[in-house]
Amino acid sequence: MLWIALIIGILVTALLLYYLLVVTEGVFLGRRLVVWLYDQVAATYDARKAVDPDFEAFFLARPLQHHLKHLPNPLILDVASGTGRLPIALLEEPLFHGRVIGLDASAKMLAVAAEKLRPYRFRAALVQQTADHLPFPPNCFDAVTCLEALEFFPNDETAVREMVRVLKPGGVLLVTRRKGIWGKAFLSRYRSVNQFANFLTTAEMEAVYTVPWQQEYDQVYGRKRRPA
């Protein structure tokens, strides 16, 4: 009887740890743990992710570029940039002539990004900072992006408010919505398509729309309202 209780106890603990550390990547245990976990996986992140450059160009860089086509040299902020996925995808586009700042809290993810972005020199810059306090003045970016990260922030509302603050009126916001069963594992942090659109609309955004993207994420676009 004691053995059975012990085995059940070990199984429950293992499942709980799996949920807290793997499925939800430490978000319910605090920001420091989330960032520490990303520091640990930084060196192998790209290999595990194995993004296809053509997929990135077609479904990420070009649609975003289309929103910015009226601007000769747009300035973009990529929040939670990780190993530089979005900056690389944009800077590899021959018709993109802008600059990208990547911001992330993990020094080791940024170190990988820095190595990959070296050829782009002054067109890319990296900043180590958390998403709840963006070190930029209001209304300075033509676009702000945040891919596969909102669900890991201590407070996604604070982060989105900051992204909108630094976005120029009329500027483009591109964020991702975690979906499916793994999205629902984030409990009250999960938002349906409509809830997510309302969330952005109440944060000064308009023309919000959702595009299915990957198995676990939708892309959600919006524009910052111009003052009336």
Ligand X SMILES: C[S@@+](CC[C@H](N)C(=O)[O-])C[C@H]1O[C@@H](n2cnc3c(N)ncnc32)[C@H](O)[C@@H]1O
Please tell me whether residue 131 binds ligand X under the rule CB under 6 A: yes
Binding mask 209-228 for ligand X (x = CB under 6 A): --------------------
CA atoms within 13 A on the CB side of 210: 19
Per CB under 6 A, the list member of 64, 147, 167, 200 interacting with ligand X is 147
**Residues sharing a CB contact under 8 Å with residue 36, sequence separation 6 or more, in sequence order:** 26
Q: Find the part of the chain contacting ligand X (CB under 6 A) among 6-14, 79-87, 135-143, 187-195.
A: 79-87
| Cα 68 from Cα 65, distance rounded (Å) | 5
The single-letter DSSP state of residue 169 is: E
| Nearest residue (CB) to ligand X, 34 versus 77 | 34
Beta strand 217-224 pairing with 99-104: unpaired
Please tell me whether residue 152 binds ligand X under the rule CB under 6 A: yes
The single-letter DSSP state of residue 227 is: P
CA-based radius of gyration for the chain: 19
Please tell me whether residue 106 binds ligand X under the rule CB under 6 A: yes
| Cα 138 from Cα 214, distance rounded (Å) | 32
Per CB under 6 A, the list member of 99, 101, 117, 130 interacting with ligand X is 130
| Cα 33 from Cα 20, distance rounded (Å) | 11
Please tell me whether residue 105 binds ligand X under the rule CB under 6 A: yes
Binding mask 16-55 for ligand X (x = CB under 6 A): ---------------x--xx--x-----------------
**Residues sharing a CB contact under 8 Å with residue 135, sequence separation 6 or more, in sequence order:** 127, 129
Backbone angles phi, psi at 208, to 5 degrees: -80, 130
Per CB under 6 A, the list member of 82, 87, 171, 222 interacting with ligand X is 82
Please tell me whether residue 186 binds ligand X under the rule CB under 6 A: no
Q: Find the part of the chain contacting ligand X (CB under 6 A) among 66-74, 149-157, 181-189, 200-208.
A: 149-157
Task: Name the site residues for ligand X (rule: CB under 6 A).
Answer: 31, 34-35, 38, 80-82, 85, 104-106, 109, 130-131, 147-149, 152-153
